[in-house]
Chains A and B, each alone.
Chain A
């Protein structure tokens, strides 16, 4: 049943005048047109009752899009990607054993101890601690990559493919854990260096963290074609070889001047991005062969 009388949007005549002015009417025109426009409110439209609206809804409801619970869950998860990534990362933390956390922290502590014992005060004295950090930083990356992706050789990819978090999301989540933990260790290292009176905290931190990013990116990219052990070893080995050549030959370019410290990190991030983008296309290579 319909109730009469719909609402009239203009409570005061002044509102009508404002509306007329807005559309370009002069004050004289407004005065001329206002009586006629005020009469528009005489014609009221019927209002639908709540029962009418319910009836309409009953007719419309069958037309609503229907999604399966699984699809609905995927849609909801896509709407909260960051939250989902972090919650996946939280669930993946259990994959990393206590040994990984302790060994990583120990390596960082050793690096910090070496730097502090050498008492860094000058550019020349920076050489040894910098070398230690350049070796220890990527070592964390090597360990992290080996531990985070050790399941790939265990033929569990098929299982991962049918799970709601895609392999890409799992990879990202594990990278968040490894890199997040390494960043945390880096902050702790910088605090230690700062407390120990080291003069070049930022330079030392970059010396430690940038190669770590490079080796992680390289290992992940190589892992698309090689086993994870081979990829991580090759990436870390290449970095060690690079350092050895730089130290033995004493080439200035290979020794990475402070200005070039960020270069390995940038290359590492680029490699990480390429690896993540290529992952979907290369997925078939990772499937177990029967």
Chain B
């Protein structure tokens, strides 16, 4: 039997089909968590909350139009929720008090020794810190493109921006990442 598409599952969910909801959530739980986890700088409890909020929005708003591509719509909601969170006063306060991300950046800036550097690299901390340093508009497109495997068109639909803007943001984003993640080359140049 052919697997139902996201759009077909979502139409069934709108009609109250629990089986369709289970299939849809099983399919998107892990990728969505991965996306939000990287978007919020590796804060797992926060990304779990945002995943739940995103899916609650999907069910509560009921603004899904039949036939519309589901994945860009889902990630648009997730991205907007993450942005809202960072804009909120609570987020600013939390970041001001004890920020793991800040600590990572300090780690990155404090020129670690070879052993520390190797350890950090092993855990992906350096990549994490580099992504955290990117401005949000570049981080979103880089994560969607290189971690979620989105096409350029899907990114444009998700963020409601022109295709050319997607390309330029990706270009800026990856060049900045290269400068941060490949300091040897940067030094040579």
Identify the A interface with B (CB < 8 A): 2, 6, 8-10, 16, 19-20, 22-25, 32-33, 35-37, 39-40, 42-48, 52-53, 56-57, 59-61, 63-67, 72, 75
Q: Is the CB of A64 within 8 A of B146?
A: no
Contact with A along B161-179 (1 / 0, CB 8 A): 0000011001100110110
B59, CB-defined interface residue at 8 Å: yes
By beta carbon, the residue of chain A nearest B26 is A53
Residue from A33, A42, A48 in contact with B178 in the complex, judged by beta carbons closer than 8 Å: A33
Q: Give complex CA distance A75, B12 in Å.
A: 11
Q: Interface size class for chain B?
A: 35 or more
By beta carbon, the residue of chain A nearest B182 is A36
Answer whether A37 and B146 are a contact pair too, CB < 8 Å, given A45-B37, A53-B25, A72-B15.
Answer: yes
By beta carbon, the residue of chain B nearest A52 is B29
Q: Give complex CA distance A53, B177 in Å.
A: 33
- Provide the residues of chain B in CB contact with A20, threshold 8 Å: 174
Q: Is the CB of B171 within 8 A of A23?
A: yes
Instruction: Determine how close the nearest CB of chain A comes to the CB of B163; give it in whole angstroms.
Output: 10
- Provide the residues of chain B in CB contact with A64, threshold 8 Å: 13, 16-18, 21, 59
Q: Is the CB of A43 within 8 A of B59?
A: no
Q: Is the CB of A23 within 8 A of B152?
A: yes
Answer whether A24 and B171 are a contact pair too, CB < 8 Å, given A36-B182, A64-B18, A66-B16.
Answer: yes
Q: Is the CB of B16 within 8 A of A43?
A: no
- Provide the residues of chain A in CB contact with B149, threshold 8 Å: 9-10
Instruction: Determine how close the nearest CB of chain A comes to the CB of B108; give it in whole angstroms.
Output: 13
Answer whether A63 and B60 are a contact pair too, CB < 8 Å, given A33-B178, A36-B182.
Answer: yes
Q: Is the CB of A45 within 8 A of B33?
A: yes
Interface-side segment among B68-76, B81-89, B90-98, B125-133: B125-133
Q: Is the CB of B21 within 8 A of A42?
A: no
Instruction: Determine how close the nearest CB of chain A comes to the CB of B179; give it in whole angstroms.
Output: 8
Residue from B26, B42, B131, B145 in contact with A19 in the complex, judged by beta carbons closer than 8 Å: B145
- Provide the residues of chain B in CB contact with A52, threshold 8 Å: 29
Residue from A6, A60, A67 in contact with B34 in the complex, judged by beta carbons closer than 8 Å: A6
Q: Is the CB of B177 within 8 A of A48?
A: no
B78, CB-defined interface residue at 8 Å: no
Q: Give complex CA distance A63, B55 in Å.
A: 10
A-B contact pairs, 16 of them (CB 8 A): A6-B30, A6-B34, A33-B178, A35-B178, A36-B181, A37-B174, A40-B147, A42-B122, A43-B42, A45-B147, A46-B44, A52-B29, A64-B17, A64-B21, A67-B15, A72-B15
